A and B are shown apart, each in its own frame.
Chain A
Amino acid sequence: MLKPIRLKVNGQESTVTVDPETPLLFVLNDQLGLQGPRFGCGMAQCGSCSVLMQGQVVRSCVMPVGAVGVREITTLEGIGTLEHPHPLQQAFIDEGAAQCGYCLSGVILTAKAVLDANPRASDQEMSDALGGVMCRCFAHLRMLRAIRKYAEAKKA
């Protein structure tokens, strides 16, 4: 059952020995010690476990680690640091766009993926992408404002 699996996460390569059916989320949390993606529902309904895989948002709670292959994974901590947050993270810091903050991987990485693919993405395209992301503290307005600010700065 256990198999060695090579992963490239946040620019670092490592090998984990796990059941390939293990959700990527559990490997990120338990084997690699990452805290950004978090378990919310286990059914890809909420977005808390979101990571980027080759620039696309995937829900790591339903992604078997054995299916990742050579594709590089980036988590919320992979796009910026405390000292040097990613500009989108900085926009969230500036706007105070969180309460508990548990959901942030879904919100920030989804917005990033949309704008990386198309810096001129329309409000509708952004809204469609955020349709599967929730924040139960309802910091919606601040989050949308932070995303808009970042998008405008990116365009300029």
Chain B
Amino acid sequence: MMPSRRDFLKSTGVLIVSFSVNALAPRSMNAAQGPFATHPSHIDPKLLDSWLAVSSDGTITAYTGKCDFGQGILTAQTQLVAEELCVPVSRVKLIQCDTDRTPDQGTTSGSQSTPTNFNDESLALAAATAREALMSLASTKLNEPVERLTASEGIITGSSGRHAAYAELVANTHFDIPLNTNAMRKPVALWNVLGKPVPSLDRAALMTGRFEFVQSVRIPGMLHGRVVRPPGMGATLVRVHEDSVRDIPGLVKVVVRKNFVGVVAETQHQAVIAARKLAVEWNPGPDLPPQGNFFDSMQKQPSHDALSVDSGDLGTKLAASGALVRARYTYPYQMHASVGTSCAVADVKPDRATLWSATQSVYPTRSVVAKILGLPADKVRVIFVRGSGCYGLNGADAVSFDAAVLSQAVGKPVRLQFSREDEMKWENLGAACVVEHQAALASDGTIAVWDREHWIASLGNRPGYDRPGNVISGVLLGYEPEPFARQQASPPKGKLRNNSNAVPAYFAGFIDGKCQGGGTIRSERALTHTVPSPFFTGPLRSPARIQNTFANECFMDELCARANDDPLAFRLKHLQDPRLIAVLKAAARAANWQTRPMQKPPKSRTGIVSGRGIACVNYEGDNGYSALIAEVEVNLDTGLVQPKNFVVAVDCGPVSNPDGLRNQTEGGLLQGMSRSLVEEVTWDSKHITSTDWARYKTLYLDYPMPSIQTVFVTPDGVPALGAGELSITITPAALGNAIFDATGVRLRTLPFTPERIMAALQESRKGSIS
């Protein structure tokens, strides 16, 4: 079991917090992007008792539906509750994602935890409601008006000096009040706990090997499972030869359900051997499209189309323009590829089930598992236990479904952990994407017209509350993935939606008579074609946003090069959004940016050249702002790219924990660097072949790392926004732009491998000779 929280908190010291109600600020506007869908559950999110309790020892227990899988939200949420209740961090115990205990907050994903829980609803509102309720109770008890009371360290003191501890006011009893939508959050200026670099609460346990991951969960009587997956997509089961494993000691059962095959044994080792030896006949599925021309074939698929913006004058504007600039960008399938393979422990009884799972969606998983097992949802309990870092949707949901099926089949608890191949062959990949741009400059060197469309591959997704078939396990059990529906695009209406960052930041976003974008370009179109994918796809960190931003921000640089302008100045000329402008300027200041056009291509064919690249994003249109300046060296003899320095500016509103935000920002940049330089899914005619670390590359700890400088931009009076996906979104573009500045070569596909760079250099030299 996990060590006590007191052990965790020893190193954090005691934070003295003090707060008086007189200093309250009015509530700010909430973040615009919506939170995840939720369903009603037995824990009513409108009631304070669903979120918070005070124990007799003064400990505050808070219940959250947003879980920590390495991004630091455990610590930040603990700070939030401590801040609002005027107690030290060590006095707060946070219970994360357990369908028996926490409210349904949908999925922890999409950079939505901070917008949802740190503004004026959910956990933040509960904590503010609780503080006001305690103040009101103290007012009655001490017979003094609330205005004269001060809360500090869990004790409310009146002007007379008389005081009451929280525990005396409500200990172990219910508040029995609804969340008060008028409850006042503490203003940023008065924060004592939030906004401070409180060391992440899980550190000591992690570093000393005492942290309990889902992979470490062991329960009495537990057996071990393994799955036996088909040879490729679309393969169907013909026959399982159980006699092939009859002699394996400890084998408990071969489990077959439709196309799902698994084994259960007494030990992990026996399960591994049984899964390897089990003879299974499959009907192979259809051949996969060849990887060589996959992007071309994507563009020939039937598609589901949507227009984000369309000024309606593209035809005339493009025809009237002189030289058109055209470019096509491609982005490969990439993997979450968690370092630990996914794992779950299921204990399925005839009438109920318990699941220990690293799913980011305990309530949706509860519904889906109930459906698979044929149990009512309220008879299934899903308890979140952190797994290996996920970055979106790794195998955590799929392995949970599989473990439940195995446990039900043997009537005993089963622990299931995927093999490396199970994980990498069948996860929901980050989607392949093609972006085509055409644009023209006006005579003054600004962009007159920009048309862009993209094709993005899609199959499955998060399973949600009722779609087991959105991941491999569900499909094998006979459920369908979300059906693909062809659709023609209709003209955009209402609010500009830029969730996928299909719309470049420089578009005016003219819809229904209003400019809703952050840019100045009025002749504009952004068209999305969603096409069927031969592989499962899912929300890999910055889904669609990283693909689109790579293409948009690199093409912006191409237009800048055409205008022979400075890449920062050129961007600023096309922007009106003050927050995006502010992060660009902050990054430029910190990087000591020198105004100049891009460098001329190097004359030498050998040696090391260097360059700089800039990129920025307004994530999802309104969920965080970031700008990055990357400096790289490129070896002209080998094609090796070496990022040397990253300067990144981040504006995600008020910062809950600066150290946590730095950690997320740095990790995002370096993960983005890995995705830019080496990561690419490969396949043959039948299945994915990049199923281990020799074939799916990542940057190990020996790869020379750039230095990173992170600058926070924190405007007043704005809500808290997401931050976990900001820096990664702009890394590929900043690197691509820096490589161009260094070499004069524009790379329009990821990853930027030495082979691609050498080929592009050779191509450009041919051009310059002829």
Contact = CB atoms under 8 A, between A and B. Distances in A.
Interface string B387-398: 111110000000
A6 to B, nearest CB: 19
B3 A136 contact: no
Interface stretch (B115-123, B298-306, B366-374, B700-708): B700-708
Contact-size category for A: 35 or more
A18 B388 contact: no
Contacts of B72: 99
Interface stretch (B195-203, B238-246, B467-475): B195-203
Contacts of B612: none
A60 interface: no
A57 interface: no
Contacts of A22: 267, 269
A111 B694 CA distance: 23
Given A39-B215, A42-B420, A104 B207 contact: yes
A26 B666 contact: no
B70 interface: yes
Contacts of B218: 30, 33
Nearest to A140: B705
A101 B70 contact: yes
Contacts of B270: 19
B3 A130 contact: no
B311 interface: no
Interface in B418-442: 419-420
B663 interface: yes
B206 A136 contact: no
B341 interface: yes
B289 interface: no
B71 interface: yes
Interface string B261-303: 0000001111010000000000000000000000000000000
A35 B389 contact: no
Interface in B127-163: none
A76 B208 contact: yes
Contacts of B208: 36, 76-77, 80-82, 85-86, 89
Contacts of A144: 701, 705
B210 interface: yes
Given A82-B3, A131-B700, A142-B666, A98 B205 contact: no
B69 A100 contact: yes
A38 B7 CA distance: 22
Nearest to B203: A93
Interface of B: 3, 7, 10-11, 69-72, 199-200, 202-213, 215-216, 218, 224, 249, 267-270, 272, 337-341, 386-391, 417, 419-420, 659, 663-664, 666-671, 673-674, 692-694, 698-703, 705, 708
Interface of A: 1-2, 18-19, 21-23, 26, 29-30, 33-43, 45-46, 48, 75-78, 80-83, 85-86, 89-90, 92-93, 96-105, 107-108, 127-128, 130-144
24 contacts: A1-B249, A26-B267, A30-B267, A35-B212, A38-B340, A40-B340, A42-B272, A81-B208, A92-B203, A92-B207, A100-B70, A101-B70, A101-B202, A101-B206, A102-B213, A104-B209, A131-B702, A132-B700, A134-B700, A136-B339, A137-B70, A137-B671, A138-B666, A141-B705
- 8 smallest beta-carbon distances between A and B, as pairs: A36-B209, A100-B70, A76-B209, A100-B389, A101-B206, A77-B209, A138-B670, A99-B70
